[in-house]
Chains A and B, each alone.
Chain A
Amino acid sequence: MNFEAIIEKYTVSILDHRIKTLIAILLLVLVATAGARFLEAPSGYRGFVESGQPNYQDILNLEEKYGMIDTLSFVIKPNNGDIFQKDVIQLIHELTEVSWQTPFSSRVSSLTNFQYTTVDGDDINISDFISDTDLMDENSLQELKSLALQERTIVNFILSESARVSFVNISLDVPEDTGFEDPIEFANEQKAYFNSKYPDVFVTVAGSAMYSNNFQTTARSDATSMYPGFLALIIILSYILLRSITASAISLIVIFLSILPSMGMAGWLGFEAQPPLIIAPILILTIALAHAIHILSIALTNMNEGMDKKKSIVESMKINFTPVFLTSFTTAVGVAGVNFGKIPAFSEMANTVVIGSTFSFILSVTILPIIFMLMPIKTDGKSSVVLNALSKLGDLIYKFKLYIITFIGLASLLLINLIPNLYFDDDFDSYFDRVDDWVEVKNIVNDEFGSSFFIFANLSSEETDGITSPEYLKKIDEFARWLETQDEVVTVTTVSDIIKTLNKNMNGGNNEFYSIPDNKPLNAQYLLMYEFSVPYGMDLKNQMTADKSESRLLIRLNMATSKESIEFNERTDEWIRNNLQGYQTDGVVGIPIMMPYVYQENTNGLMRGLLFSFSFIVIVIGITLRSLKLGLISIVPNVVPFILSYGILAIFTNIVTFSHTLSILVSLGLVVDATIHFLSKYKKAESLNLNASDAIQYCFKYVGFPIIVASICLFSGFAFLLQSSFQTNFILGGMCALIILIALIIDLFLLPALLLIFRRKNVV
């Protein structure tokens, strides 16, 4: 019994046991779908990093010593003038007080509660920088301003150099598996309250917790803004293309029954609802829709040609079973290549699509034929306008095959030339550049402070109480001052600054004593005194370990791209190697240092994934079509669209981010689908001994239409992602839409032309 006979027997048998099959499949779908409730809320940027990533490990080590690095910050900017106005200071004072109420807050630092030291003989007074706001007049405000601008631990940390913007920083210590929703909700309430109470001052919320939370809010807003519109588009498209309400309804059933259990399985597997996962349903939808359209359109064509309903669907299954299986398989393999990358959020998205692709195959070969039989189908008996047009296209290609190949070949050469201009880079701070509120905050903060991000460096003296030794203090000070000479750094503060300030204050405020004493016990006693003098939440636990063997530098970064950050990190490591022998340090640590490495590793991983997916797919095509020639020809339509789309990209930009790389993997399997459908029909035509022109006509008749339909669906699906407020989804959508569009043109023009040329050479 040959394969087609097996498929025929299989289809007839499920149609005979339609109720049993239906129940079994629906049960499977139901069980899988039940997992959806376990879908986890996104953990922000941490979901973008693998747990073993070395830079992430550095962050975790740092957090173990000094508490969580994430912060929420109120940004305060008066509409006119600087911060030193009575009502603005009043606002900061009130906001500081209320910030202690922030859920999971561990400390609050602002201009008002900054621990300021004054000296009067042997009396040392350590107190809030600004406590009594009622008694302030213009003179005292100006005095405060000049004092504040002299404090290196104030400037660029809680007050910009221009004194126009100030921060109230809230350190958070959120338990594991808890998001930032509660602190952010609280901060947003305060933001609204203070903006209405002080209409002349702009108050908003920033900080890494806010950045992290953007992942969640964009995921949610993407889902609510994109899904309904996309669904409507698909309903309309499937009706226009199939021209049968019943057939459209069948497609929709198959689509839903593919998406629901896939998202459910994502839940069972403990995936996080990160923004990339939002793409998964859209991809699954287009895959399932393509399957349904391939099977249904041929069944409908058969019915139009007078076949009975059962025979129509059985015949369609015979033709489509292999390509539908293959396309599901290659899509899955293509997308699975994303697992070679290093970002869990994208791997989870990819794996969800793999699951969805599997479900869509299962449903297309079980439920779809059964529902087709159960539902009343009307056909108008007319062959489609599109089919006639396609038939004309077939003739044209036959005539102009050489021109087509030359034209596309030349265009490719031209665009290939542009590709070397492209280079990899990324800017993780641009992730949410499509979220207006965020961009507003980002611009203010970047203008005034360089960037909203802090990084850290831990320096261990490798001995208990070692941080008070003059050698250590001088080294850490040297390190800090070196860092400040780097373009990527705005300002740095360390324990040496505290010691210097204390030494000055303990010597009557004399500036000559703003230095590190060569006396370890004295430094230790200074610190002891300082620790005794500060109130709740202002201690040094976030700067030094309890045994005083290690302390950390706090560094405010300037804006930097991935490339610059990596260069900065390497430069710092080199400096450390040459200058900090005898001390232990992980170098600079933090999100802006980690993310570029994650991207780099991810891009490298994706490249390997691409190689894997691509070779796998070529081999699979070769084996199934049992033809080396077709296998080799298939490479052309599967590679050219990517070259052309990257060439086109190079016209507009030079920067390739990992999102661009990702788009190749996501669309590879889909681009291949069309080739597989086309080549499998072509092989069938060859086995029917059709001549060259008729073979192409045969292909156009049976797959031209479904390929166009599937490509339109995919194109619109990806184009919809252009609405996403998540930068990566936006780029991914745009690139994939472009690739699919080019692939369609290649499949309709170049592939048949190639087949004709090689056929002539072989046959004639």
Chain B
Amino acid sequence: MYKFLLILFFVISVNTNLLSEDNFEKGLRIAKESYESTRGYIDSESDQLMILVDPKGNEVIREISGKTLENDDPNDGDKSIIFFNKPKDVEGTVMLSHTHVNDDDDQWLYLPALGRVKRISSSNKSGSFMGSEIAFEDFSGNDYRKYEWEFIGEEEYEGETCYKLVSIPKYKNSGYTKRIGFTDKLLRPRMIEYFDRKGELLKTLYFEDYQLYNDKIWNADTFRVVNHQNKNKTIYKWVNRELNVGINKKDFEKSSLLRLAD
């Protein structure tokens, strides 16, 4: 009888927990499902175009191409290689990153004019990517492991009912105190508002031009960022993106950097 009651109590409490998932758990669950829906791409290759627009409408264009490699380790981040094509002076520069979830990334840079590979260690995740309004940390902003989540309701966004999620960075050097975003019912992030260290709205990232890759993974091929404080805009486009192309894993090692640069 005593054992039975104990079991009964246990079952009830577990069930109640499942039934009454709180908003933090719900937020985390949605974020995790959203993240996982983008996994399984194995590797990818793409050309990228970045347009910086100042408040007067002057544009500056940067061209890069990149490769990424999915990391199976549930406690670590993906690896990526960026080749710089434009402006001309930086053509041939290559950057290799081994990202980490909540630690500083490892980065190596090959500078063709110097002819050497340099390892950079810095807490630069919060820094601007090539003078744009996008920070390094924004590229992996869909990684649920980087934030504390909270679901705060459902709201219409561009005619679709979306989950409204608040996320708080765990990375201590993050440039943000908070993000508020909309994730649609296909689990695709649609828009994220970023709040700076003083808690003020800094910028909004709009995820646009969603494409379904390999019949299973939705990727936004355009990131449009509007900075509300300095009134600059950045448009970041992925073109010729391919997933699961079979890149040699060895390419993502420091020792391959010199070879890749040629």
With the chains together, A144 CA to B109 CA distance in Å?
29
* In-complex Cβ contact of B111 among A101, A127, A464, A525 (8 A): A525
Task: Give 11 CB contacts A-B under 8 Å.
Answer: A122-B118, A126-B124, A465-B89, A468-B89, A522-B111, A523-B89, A525-B90, A525-B113, A535-B123, A535-B127, A536-B175
Give the CA-CA distance A717 to B70 in the complex, in Å: 80
Q: A523 to B131: give the CA distance in the assembly, Å.
A: 16
Question: Among the listed stretches B16-24, B35-43, B51-59, B185-193, which one makes contact with chain A, having 4 or more residues with CB under 8 Å of it?
Answer: B51-59
**A377 contacts across to B, CB distance below 8 A:** none
Task: Please tell me if the beta carbons of B173 and A535 are within 8 angstroms of each other in the complex.
Answer: yes
Q: Are A546 and B52 touching (Cβ within 8 A)? A: yes
Q: Are B127 and A529 in contact (CB under 8 A)?
A: no
Is A102's CB under 8 angstroms from B118's CB?
no
Chain B interface residues (CB < 8 Å from chain A): 52, 54-56, 58, 60, 84, 87-91, 93, 95, 107, 109, 111-114, 116-131, 135, 173-175, 196-200, 229-230, 232
Report yes or no: B125 in contact with A524, Cβ–Cβ below 8 A.
Answer: no
Closest Cβ of chain B: how far from A104's Cβ, in Å?
8
* A525-B131 contact in complex given A101-B197, A122-B119, A124-B120, C-beta closer than 8 Å: no
Query: Is A521 part of the binding interface, using a Cβ–Cβ cutoff of 8 Å?
Result: yes
Which residue, of B54, B89, B107, B112, has the highest number of chain A Cβ atoms within 10 A? B89
Q: Which residues of B contact A541 (CB under 8 A)?
A: 128, 131, 230
Q: Bound complex: CA of A126 vs CA of B230, how far in Å?
A: 26
A652 at interface, CB cutoff 8 A: no
Given the complex of chains A and B, what is the CA–CA distance between A464 and B59 in angstroms?
11
Hey, which chain B residues are within 8 Å of A103, CB to CB? 198, 200
Which of B60, B88, B113, B126 is close to A547, meaning CB atoms less than 8 Å apart?
A: B60
Q: Name the distance in Å between B259's Cβ and chain A's nearest Cβ.
A: 17
Closest 9 CB pairs of A and B: A536-B175, A524-B89, A536-B126, A522-B113, A100-B197, A521-B113, A126-B122, A525-B111, A533-B122
Q: A125 contacts the other chain (Cβ, under 8 Å)? A: yes
**Shortest distance from the beta carbon of A170 to any chain B beta carbon, whole Å:** 11
List residues of chain A with CB within 8 A of the CB of B175.
Answer: 535-537
Name the distance in Å between B60's Cβ and chain A's nearest Cβ. Answer: 4
Q: In whole Å, how far is A487's beta carbon from the nearest beta carbon of chain B?
A: 36
Q: Is B58 a contact of A521 with CB atoms below 8 Å?
A: no
Tell me which residues across on chain A come within 8 A of B125, comparing CB atoms.
Answer: 535
The answer to whether B54 and A546 have CB atoms under 8 Å apart is yes
Closest partner residue, chain B, to A469 (CB atom): B89
Known interface pairs A106-B230, A122-B117, A128-B123; 8 further A-B residue pairs with C-beta atoms within 8 A, sorted by A's residue number: A125-B122, A126-B121, A522-B114, A531-B128, A532-B127, A534-B124, A535-B125, A539-B128
Check B111 against A535 for contact (C-beta < 8 Å).
no
Closest chain-B Cβ to A53's Cβ sits at a distance in Å of: 22
Given contacts A127-B123, A534-B124, contact A173 B90 (CB under 8 A): no
User: Contacts A536-B175, A537-B175: A125 and B121 contacting too (C-beta < 8 A)?
Assistant: yes
Question: Complex formed: what's the CA distance from A99 to B118 in Å?
Answer: 33
| A529 to B118 CA separation, bound complex (whole angstroms) | 10
The answer to whether A535 touches B124 (Cβ under 8 A) is yes
- The answer to whether B93 touches A546 (Cβ under 8 A) is no
Instruction: Give the complex CA separation of A528 and B88 in angstroms.
Output: 12
Count chain A residues whose beta carbon lies closer than 8 angstroms to a beta carbon of B.
Answer: 44
Cα–Cα distance between A546 and B118 once the two chains are bound (Å): 25
Which residue of chain A lies nearest to B123 when distances are taken between CB atoms in the complex? A535
| B90→A534 contact, CB < 8 A | no
Please indicate the chain B residues that have their CB under 8 angstroms from the CB of A526 in the complex.
111
B123-A525 in contact (CB<8A) = no
Q: Is A123 interfacial (CB-CB < 8 Å)?
A: yes
Q: Is A506 an interface residue (CB 8 A)?
A: yes
Say yes or no: A126-B60 contact (C-beta < 8 A), given A173-B229, A525-B89: no
Check A693 for interface membership: any CB of B closer than 8 A. no
When C-beta atoms are compared, the residue in chain B nearest to A529 turns out to be B109
Chain A 524-556 against B: per-residue CB contact (8 Å), 1 yes, 0 no? 111011011111111111000011100000000
Shortest CB distance B7–A (Å): 51
**A546-B131 in contact given A64-B56, A124-B121 (Cβ < 8 Å):** yes
Contact yes or no, A106 B95, CB < 8 A: no
Judged by a CB distance under 8 angstroms, whether A105 is at the interface is yes
In the complex, the answer to whether A506 meets B118 with C-beta atoms within 8 Å is yes
A520 in contact (CB, < 8 A): yes
Please report the C-alpha to C-alpha distance between residue A536 and residue B202 in the assembled complex, in whole angstroms: 12
Closest to A131 in B: B123
Complex CA gap A546/B89 in Å reads 15
Contact A519 B127 (CB under 8 A): no
Bound Cα distance A523, B121 (Å): 20
The answer to whether the Cβ of A67 comes within 8 Å of any Cβ in the partner chain is yes
Bound-state CA distance A404–B243 (Å) is: 105
Q: Compute how far the CA of A539 lies from the CA of B60 in the bound complex, rounded to whole angstroms.
A: 17
